Amino acid sequence: MDDLRRRVAALIVVRASGHLDDQQRRYPRWELSNSELKQLLADGVGGVILLGGSAIELQQRTRQLQGWSDQTLLFCADVEEGVGQRFEGASWLMPPLALGRLHRTQPAKAVELAERFGRCTGEQAKRCGLNWVLGPVCDVNNNPANPVINVRAWGEDPATAGCLATAFQRGLSSAGVLGCAKHFPGHGDTSNDSHLDLPVLSHRRERLERMELPPFRAAIAAGVDSVMTAHLLLPQLDRDHPATLSAAVLTDLLRHDLGFQGLVVTDALVMEAIAGRYDAATAAVLAFEAGADLILMPADANAAIDGLHSAFRTGRLPLKRLDEAWERRRQALKRTTTTAIGNPAIANQEDRTLEADLIQACISARAVDGLAVGPGVNLIRVDGVFPCPALAGVAPALQLPSLQGFRNVVIHGQGVSPWQNDPNAPLALDRLGDGPVLLQLFLRGNPFRGDRDQQEPWRAVVQQLQRCKRLSGLAVYGSPYLWDELDAVLEPDIPAGYSPGQMPEAQRQLLTQLLGRPNQTANQRDFTD
């Protein structure tokens, strides 16, 4: 293989499972097989994004992948809520927006926790063999209907988002791993998901300067190592190309106007906003032509390499751009520090303390006299497939109500529909059985789901259950917007609470507060129809 093609390949980042075995791949459509990975890494591919498996397995996996390459690889992951969000056994922390809301009343505490958050994430990433964290999210989630950013943002206003994102970045830097401000120039005010389609943001430059750009400016000033592009169309800047493929956005705005000199990486090119409109080679060439340095998850890695190789060989892309991207990659790797992998302990006592501090600071509950005990129904809605990481078999959301006599009923996308055609009484209560209902909603806004979950009539359900005197309690895990909406119609004596995070420890703490004194029986309160 000629040297030019290997130099091009070094700027490609491919997707791999964190599991060692091909049969364990969770998303084989996107996660390359070991034989494909061996071939691509031997050919010079320079980066891998990982998902799935345990943190201990990830230690082995990064060593394995590095052994298939003759250059130092970039190993990254989307661990916006701590390494445990993606890899079991590490710390799964609160979503960033939890601290954004805490910042309203306790700004100093929120900043302190955000920096500890970044340090914990960076240290654990490093222990697993990762050297690049794809965060902080610098989007301003000023649109509650946003289906894909939502609780991933550090704030709902530019000042908060910038302040906490830079605190997180300081924590990452102290740990010796790279950070990544995303999704430039701002994905917070979109109402559709770029995993599924191309959002359009029609704001003028003046509005971008006021709302979307300040957190990115703050992150750049704080020394963030890389910036990830957004797959969205900004017709006021470029009518023809999504931001990822736009020189007006990546070169004129990001490089020249904001003065960013670090690595520019595309968001995953396999997402439908790009893959649905461009083939792999064309997308890679247009992205690099626009100003990107690294190509993340092309739909076909070999095709992307071939397309870039041809563009450099024919002169469509100047070799100077290749040299610049290579130098930025080299300088970024110099800023990383390594940890000797071998200690099985990923999370230490300091990390465990942070987990507890975040939960204590961010959950809220109003438990009057505690939930009425069963027999009754523990009705859970989860915004994904079931079982899921938040609802493993021993999850407190399942176990604790069961101990009080509630029967678990889980609603999920592949299950039986709970709805009936009545806007005032939308829940089919006859399918649930008798007794008090504890309603637990795991809804937060997730990629690939669009606005499906936002269309569900939970406000009407709460009102329906209250009219029937069957609502024993309410727990919302995830979206603060859903919690605000339901809290507004709750009767004051209904035990209820909210957790931004869906992890088991948050469930345990919230339900422990809601259960209160579990000596009250269903017969002591009227739950008849």
340 neighbors 493 (Cβ within 8 angstroms):
no
| Integer Cα distance of 80 and 95 in angstroms | 7
| Nearest residue to 329 via CA among 3, 16, 7 | 7
Q: Provide the residue type at 60 as one letter.
A: Q
In whole angstroms, what separates CA 220 from the centre of its chain?
21
Catalytic residue status for 195: yes
Q: Residue 246: which residues within 8 A CB-CB, separation 6 or more?
A: 234, 237, 238, 290
- What angle separates helix 301-314 from helix 280-290, to the nearest 10 degrees? 50
Strands 74-77 and 47-51: parallel
Angle at 365 between CA 430 and CA 378, to 5 degrees: 25
Q: Which residue among the candidates 183, 195, 203, 241 is catalytic per the annotation?
A: 195
Instruction: Provide the H-helix boundaries in 46-157.
Output: 55-67, 96-105, 107-128
Q: What is the largest CA-CA distance in the chain?
A: 82
How far CA 330 is from CA of 225, 236, 427, in Å, comes to 12, 35, 57
Residue 117: CB atoms within 10 A of its CB come to 30
Q: Provide the residue type at 201 as one letter.
A: L
377 neighbors 435 (Cβ within 8 angstroms):
yes
Q: Which residues pair with 5 in a beta bridge?
A: none
Catalytic residue status for 351: no
- Cα dihedral 153, 156, 162, 167 in deg (nearest 10): -60
| Nearest residue to 138 via CA among 125, 130, 127, 149 | 149
Residue with the two structure tokens 């959002």: 199
Reduce the secondary structure of 287-319 to three states and give it as a string. Answer: HHHHCCCEEECCCCHHHHHHHHHHHHHHCCCCH
Q: Provide the residue type at 48 as one letter.
A: V
Q: Give 312's Cβ-side CA count (13 Å radius).
A: 20
User: For residues 397-424, b (16+ Cβ closer than 10 Å) or e, as one string?
Assistant: bbbbbeebbbebbbbbeeeeebeeeeee
| Nearest residue to 268 via CA among 227, 308, 239, 299 | 299
Residue with the two structure tokens 């703490």: 509
In whole angstroms, what separates CA 28 from the centre of its chain?
20
412 neighbors 389 (Cβ within 8 angstroms):
no
Q: Which residue among the candidates 193, 267, 351, 453 is catalytic per the annotation?
A: 267
Q: Provide the residue type at 13 as one letter.
A: V
Active site residues: 195, 267
